[in-house]
Amino acid sequence: MFKHTWQYLLALLVGFALIITVLIVLAAALIYPNLPSLDTLTDYRPKIPMRVYTADNALIAEFGQERRAVVSLATVPPMLPKAILAAEDERFYQHGGVDTLGVLRAAVSNVLSRGAKEGASTITMQVARNFFLSSEKTFTRKLNEALLAIKIEHALSKDEILTLYMNQIYLGQRAYGFGAASLAYFGKPVQKLTIAEDAMLAGLPKAPSRYNPVVNFDRARLRQLYVLRRMHELKYIDDAQYADAVAQKLVIRKAQQNGVDVNADYVAEMVRQTMYERYQDAIYSSGMKVYTTLLKRDQEAANQALRQGVLEYDQRHGYRGPEGFINLPAADAERQSALDDALQDTIDVNGLQPAVVISASSKRVQVYSKDYGDISISGTGLQFVQKALAATAPSKLAIRPGALIRIQKLPQAQAWRIAQIPAVEAALVSVDPKTGAIRALVGGFDYNRNKFNHVTQAWRQPGSSFKPFIYSAALEKGFTPATLVEDAPLTLTAAQTGGEAWEPKNYEGTYAGIVSVRTALTKSLNLPTIRILQAIGPVYARDYVTRFGFDAARTPPYLTMALGANSVTPLQLATGYGVFANAGKLATPYLIERIVDQNGNVISQTAPEKLRQAIDPRNAFIMTSIMMDVVRRGTAAHAMQLGRNDLAGKTGTTNDQRDAWFAGYQSSLVAIAWIGFDQPRSLGSGETGAHAALPIWMKYMGSVLKGVPQTLPPAPSGVVQVVINPLSGLPVSPGQSGVPEYFDQESVPMRSNTPDTPTDPLSVPDGTPDASKPVAAPEAQPSDSSIPAF
């Protein structure tokens, strides 16, 4: 039997050699001259996806069917090429494209095993196949592959061929080349790979789907161990390196993780749409890099602030019950299958992991997560759902075995809590008021759940956050911060409101009598604001606010505009507040800073835009001084917890608490926070701008302004500081006590000898001082360069 086998082998080898000889002669005469040109290889231009970055070079997203990160032999760790050779072609540097010894060895192995189980493709042959040929298993294709490999070997050096292979080969997870695979599987550049990770990647070319560690880690691990063993046998690694590599525990990046440096999905989609309009499908393969105006630290702070604010709101309004229920089979094998099936299509939503309840009591809940396995939750982790764990809980609310719920990892190691996906939405955007550069943008709680960008697409009523624009218009018409206005009930006709008759009220339902303009805005009083709009005229106010970038068509000229019954987007509101922050100049927001081609050439650069003087700088300064009072002692006084004296802004709450806003700024940054439901409904009693939106703004600004020196805006020429009698709003006589106030020097009221004489026919004094500690009156004089702490 053994003798006959060897005779069979010998005859086979002799015949095989004769066939090869004949084929080579025929190929040289007929096929070789007709092989395709190697221009594709000598001028290699891989399909590289478009990548989007922050201004400080953090990756936001990539768009393209093929993930690529082109590498060179000089930049990869030295063990990676050796791992590839050990796995795929140990004689690569000895053969001429076709490894004759390898072919003979494979033939012998296949005959002995009675089947075609071992191939003999060299790295060069794989390059030929990947660039020029199909994957069909025919003799003609194999012959062409071998001849092309020989042609490639004559045209390129070994290192050039290996570089092409390392960048072109498909390795699963949409990753082409080892640079992209390193990011896809390990979340780090190829330069930081360990020997164990080198071996894992080197094992993929044989069968990327079969050895994909994300899909089947155990099978991938066996392939990795084979590669490490071959590296050890070939003396590429010594005993200690081999032992360390075998022992290393690999951490594989999960399939849903996208390998970015900072999460900014809404920004990424904005960029993709803009780029597609310019370059069409070329963006997916030409390797362009788009650098945005975002800053990594700002975007991360915005993500965290919005997430925390939404989850805190959700906690305040109770548990709504499990997302669904599944039947749990009694048998362990069937139960595991049911658990995996139930969780297969559910995704993580901003850190809220899907899980199925295995057992539940008021003290402990056992759950199964597809990413974390069995988890036990107790103590504070159950506080949010205590009512759902009670024996009397309604069936739709009850947490019981089979319930599909959400769990959230707490800051403490290995600690979890039961949570839920919030029903409410939110948005946060920040802009540099001096340039218009967008520094952070979060369009919603989770892009994968809701792709609607609330920063740019949500037209919502701004509520009282719109009042500063009405007050700015009033200053333009001759009002001053000291002008007295009546805070008393008012009835408006349908013609005045553009709808139905209206009896507006203040938020707390009380009235202060006579107040100054400064107090009216600081305390966000509705009735004085409506009277101010009556005095200046709704049409004038509508035309005036367009200077800030608002749409006239979405700002009907009715008195309801005083309370923000018009429509704006958060980005529009940021633009408008930027005018106050930038001494009256309007900077148009922009997102794309520059576009760079595959070779590093800048093909588009955002040119600095000449800023437009939207309002008088004196007006902007005085409005800022009032909005600083909003923060210091008005509706946004909680913001003083940040320990800064240079913040200004305004809360906003719409009718029935359907929208909550905070719009605020420091001289270097404007930020807008909004929270509400997509289908407008009440946020709940007490959920005002100060309670629901301001904490988001504070969390963000507190983070990004850390270490930024406090900066008070300088007073422009023409602004004077005058000591006034708060009872009358008029300057006091020299030597008399009063409070300091800012005025445009053209609008300083005339001094009166009667301190309590009103200056506005709509008001009478109420005896309430508008500012704090009285001071002795000097003559009217230009203001100093900073705003005093009133």
CA–CA separation, 697 vs 429, rounded Å? 10
Pull the structure tokens for residue 689.
Answer: 């701008």
- Average the pLDDT over 654-667 and give the result: 96
Give 448-472 pLDDT, tens digit per residue: 899 999 999 999 999 999 999 999 9
Distance CA 209, CA 230 (A): 22
For residues 736 and 777, the answer to whether their CB atoms sit within 8 Å is yes
Question: How confident is the model over 681-706, as pLDDT tens digits?
Answer: 999 999 999 999 999 999 999 999 99
- The tokens for 426 are 């939110």
pLDDT for 595 equals 97
pLDDT score for 788: 30
Whether 648 shows a pLDDT value over 80: the answer reads: yes
Under DSSP, is residue 699 helix (H, G, I), strand (E, B) or coil?
helix
pLDDT attached to residue 763: 37
Higher pLDDT, 788 or 252: 252
Can 464 be counted among the known catalytic residues?
yes
Output the average pLDDT for the chain.
86
Q: Pick the more confident residue, 558 or 776.
A: 558
Contacts of 479 (CB under 8 A, 6+ apart): 471, 517, 532, 535, 536, 747
Residues with Cβ < 8 Å from 574, sequence gap 6 or more? Answer: 429, 430, 431, 589, 663, 670, 671, 672
Instruction: Collapse the DSSP code of 362 into the 3-class scheme (helix H, G, I; strand E, B; otherwise coil) and give the result.
Output: coil
- Other C-beta atoms closer than 10 Å to the C-beta of 577 total 27
What whole-number distance in Å separates Cα of residue 330 and Cα of residue 709? 64
CB burial class (10 A; 0-12, 13-18, 19+) of residue 510?
exposed
Least Cα distance to 128 among 116, 106, 144 occurs for: 144
Q: How far apart are the first and last CA of the chain?
A: 107
Q: Which residue has the higher pLDDT, 16 or 375?
A: 375
Q: Which of 88, 425, 593, 741 is catalytic?
A: 88
Per-residue pLDDT tens for 155-169? 888 898 898 888 888
Q: Which H helix or E strand runs over 200?
A: helix 195-202
Q: Which of 434-448, 599-613, 743-757, 774-788 is predicted least confidently? A: 774-788
Average pLDDT over residues 25-53: 65
Evaluate if residue 772 carries a pLDDT over 50.
no
pLDDT band at 114 (very low <50, low <70, confident <90, very high): very low
pLDDT band at 786 (very low <50, low <70, confident <90, very high): very low
- Alpha helices, DSSP H, located in 317-355: 332-343
Residues of the chain above pLDDT 70, percent? 84
At 630, the pLDDT band (50, 70, 90 cuts) reads: very high
Whole-number Å distance between alpha carbons of 212 and 171: 8
| Catalytic residue status for 209 | no
Task: HSE, CB side, 13 Å, CA atoms: give it for residue 631.
Answer: 26
**363-405 residue pLDDT tens:** 999 999 887 889 999 999 999 999 999 989 998 899 999 999 9
The catalytic position among 182, 285, 464, 472 is 464
Three-state DSSP at 389 gives: helix
- What would the mean pLDDT of 293-308 be, rounded to a whole number? 98
Determine the Cα–Cα distance for residues 771 and 740; give it in Å rounded to an integer. Answer: 8
Whose tokens are 């299958």? That residue is 337
Among residues 471, 432, 177, 99, the alpha carbon closest in space to that of 295 is found at: 432
**DSSP of 607-645, one letter per residue?**
PPPPPEE-S-HHHHHHHHHHHHHHHHHSTTGGGGGG--S
Is the pLDDT score of 782 beyond 50?
Answer: no
pLDDT in tens, 201-249: 999 988 887 888 887 888 899 999 999 999 999 999 999 999 999 999 9
Predicted confidence (pLDDT) at residue 412 exceeds the cutoff of 90: no
